[in-house]
Amino acid sequence: MLEVSGMNFGYTSSRRILQDVSFSTDAGEILAVLGNNGAGKSTLVKCMDRVLTPETGRVLVDGQDLLELTRREHARICAYVPQSPPSGSQTVFDAVLLGRRPYISWDATAHDKLVTEQAMELLGLSCYAMRRVDELSGGERQKVAIARALAQEPRVLLLDEPTSSLDPKAQHETMQTVRDIAREKGICAIAVLHDLNLAIRYCERFLFLHDSRVFACGRREVMTAENIEEVYRMHAHIIEYMGIPVVVPFPEINF
């Protein structure tokens, strides 16, 4: 469903952030973008959402290049959740309703409001509908951002560190929700993650970025201790506990 090919980006000619990044993934799956700090993970999803303009590259969804669409057309296909959660004095309902902007001409319809309510319910935000966003915690605001993206009814969902502001229980609930929605609605989700255990538990595909390039990309066969050690310069073991794969890091061992 989704294919990224030949993505290049740099802030200057000497500071290359992405170099010939190419990968693909299917509908109904979550792809985890992994790598150490500065590897280009956030830059990649920003280029895909046109927050940044890549020097070269294509982002194809069922053969259609998203980088050639109008902003409105692009927003009907691709939704982006940034690292920093939203703030402001609007209510939670109005903040999530903003996700319907690509579809609204004059005023929100009954369908727009229904989609908004459904997105809020999925993220457990219904009871906060009339609360102001700036009254919420950072984790709650992060859920508002995800709900707003889901209200766009996208075919591609880009998540830049979606669990960074959440407590452990909420992290798992959020990743489970994203996985369920991706499968049920046939959405292609791409999540920048630092937590390898969230990635290996909830994602079907894995993209390792290292030194601005693709180090490895694929399904479970690339999520190996050897690849983790090469990318993060840290020893690791992958074990299974009660049927759940677990990454056990050993940072105290000299690499």
Dihedral angle sign, alpha carbons of residues 145, 116, 125, 127:
positive
Residue 211 lies in a domain: yes
Examine residue 20 and state whether it is found in any structural domain, yes or no.
yes
Percent helix / strand / coil, the chain, rounded to 5: 40, 30, 30
Residue 242 located in a structural domain: no
Ordered per-residue pLDDT tens for the chain, 255 residues: 899 999 999 987 677 899 999 999 999 999 999 999 989 999 999 999 999 999 999 999 988 999 999 999 999 999 999 988 777 889 999 999 999 999 988 888 999 999 999 999 988 999 999 999 989 988 888 889 999 999 999 999 999 999 887 889 989 988 998 999 899 989 999 999 999 999 999 999 999 999 999 999 999 999 999 999 999 999 999 999 999 999 999 887 666
Region label for 129, one of left (φ > 0), alpha (ψ between -120 and 50) or beta (otherwise): alpha
Instruction: Report CA dihedral (27, 31, 61, 210) to the nearest 10 degrees.
Output: -160
CA 21, 58, 102 angle in degrees (round to 5)? 120
Q: Is residue 180 part of a domain?
A: yes
Enclosing domain of residue 68: 2-88+154-223
Are 21 and 209 within 8 A, CB to CB? yes
The reply to whether 186 falls in a domain is yes
What residue type is assigned to position 120 of the chain? M
Number of domains within the chain? 1
Domain membership of residue 203 (yes or no) is yes
CATH number at residue 56: 3.40.50.300
Residues 6 or more apart from 251 whose CB is under 8 A from it? 234, 235
Q: Is residue 93 part of a domain?
A: no
Per the domain annotation, does 132 fall within a domain? Answer: no
